Amino acid sequence: MKKISSLFLLVWLIAFSLLYVTKTIESSKGYGGANTLTIYNWGDYIDPALIKKFEKETGLKVIYQTFDSNEAMMTKISQGGTTFDVAVPSEYAISKMKEEGLLLPINHSKIPNLRYIDERFLDLSFDPGNEYSIPYFWGTVGIVYNRALLGGKEITSWNDLWDPAFKNQILLIDGAREIMGMALNSLHYSLNDTNKTHLLQAKQKLDQLTPNVKAIVGDEIKMLLANEEAAIGIVWSGDAAEIMWENERLDYVIPKEGTNLWFDNMVIPKTAKNIEGAHQFINFMLDPKNAAQNAEYVGYSTPNKKALEYLPKEIVEDERFYPSEQLADKLEVYENLGKSMLAYYNELFLQFKMHRK
């Protein structure tokens, strides 16, 4: 009997240990619960002090994980093995996630701070009525350039980039929609164009840009431009603000032909376990003072109209990051092109990259 009792105790201890280890692993991987909130966001895309403040106010423990592309984020959520309570995808990803049933509807009655969001950023085509998403940040795609390295030349247009004087001076971000969109805009076409003749024209024009392209890169573009390894870069506006902070000789311009107006919104994935906590977090981030603090830390533009009152005047009056309505009329939101057309964009962009070699 003693042997049986000892064996039973050993089995119980092993089972308890396995349960503890499993719970620990699940927590680290994003398996949330009533006392935790698992957030899936872009890297360096929130002021860490706000996470601590939220934890203190709510008593919830935040598990924060990051992704580096919308595609990686969507894949992980669609697989369903990991629980995320809040995610922050871009507008075209939100449209796709809705189609695939990956999102839960948001209860607006639990988001009273939604009233502070500028109406221009609500009820947009990718999520009518904001049924599934709430604005987090917005911005543009544009051109960072170093006037000193260009002999004092100014850049105001996408078409300026084809100037032979800029040979081997341009860095491009490694994104099919951004770079194909740049070429389409330079031809005065929509960056959501699905006319294959227009798309081939855009690809041919990109081929003509090849002598001026030094490299097609990822996140390292910020360091390379700040260190003056190249004179020109195609970047997102928030990255531009960071680069300009590092090197005051750099400037950012929204090209006169128009460009992309992008949005990153907060959503609640269908795998969420703490739906109540998700609503609390979204509402917390929409508090005007919190939104202002977050915008100043991250460097991107806030859609929170009330938050602008708490930001430095030189930030909110800078039309490079808060463009005038006249310029804003030339900005386009990426539309969900569908799998077939998106694959065609990617194919043309890949052909352009191979052409450079």
d(CA 350, CA 50): 40
Burial of 197 (0-12, 13-18, 19+ CB in 10 A): exposed
Q: Is the pLDDT of residue 4 over 80?
A: no
Q: Is the pLDDT of residue 189 over 80?
A: yes
Q: Is the pLDDT of residue 271 over 80?
A: yes
Portion of the chain with pLDDT greater than 70, in percent: 90
Burial of 268 (0-12, 13-18, 19+ CB in 10 A): buried
d(CA 80, CA 102): 9
DSSP 117: B
DSSP result, 196-227: HHHHHHHHHHHHHHGGGEEEEESTTHHHHHHT
pTM of model > 0.85: no
Higher pLDDT, 229 or 14: 229
Name which of 266, 305, 292 is nearest 110 in CA terms. 266
d(CA 82, CA 147): 47
**Is there a binding annotation on residue 345?**
no
d(CA 82, CA 40): 11
Name the average pLDDT for the chain.
90
**Banded model confidence at residue 16, pLDDT cuts 50, 70, 90:** low
d(CA 320, CA 251): 9
**Banded model confidence at residue 128, pLDDT cuts 50, 70, 90:** very high
- Report the pLDDT value the prediction gives residue 10, as an integer from 0 to 100: 56
d(CA 301, CA 246): 18
d(CA 305, CA 293): 14
Range with the lowest mean pLDDT among 63-77, 96-110, 269-283? 63-77
- Report the pLDDT value the prediction gives residue 18, as an integer from 0 to 100: 52
- Report the pLDDT value the prediction gives residue 6, as an integer from 0 to 100: 56
- Report the pLDDT value the prediction gives residue 266, as an integer from 0 to 100: 98
Q: Is the pLDDT of residue 142 over 70?
A: yes
**Banded model confidence at residue 339, pLDDT cuts 50, 70, 90:** confident
Range with the lowest mean pLDDT among 122-126, 226-230, 324-328? 324-328
**Banded model confidence at residue 26, pLDDT cuts 50, 70, 90:** very low
d(CA 329, CA 151): 32
- Report the pLDDT value the prediction gives residue 80, as an integer from 0 to 100: 84
Rounded alpha-carbon distances, angstroms, from residue 94 to 61, 242, 275: 26, 26, 18
Strand partners, 262: 139
Cβ atoms of residues 348 and 180 within 8 Å: yes
**What share of residues in the chain are helix, strand, coil (percent, to 5)?**
50, 20, 30
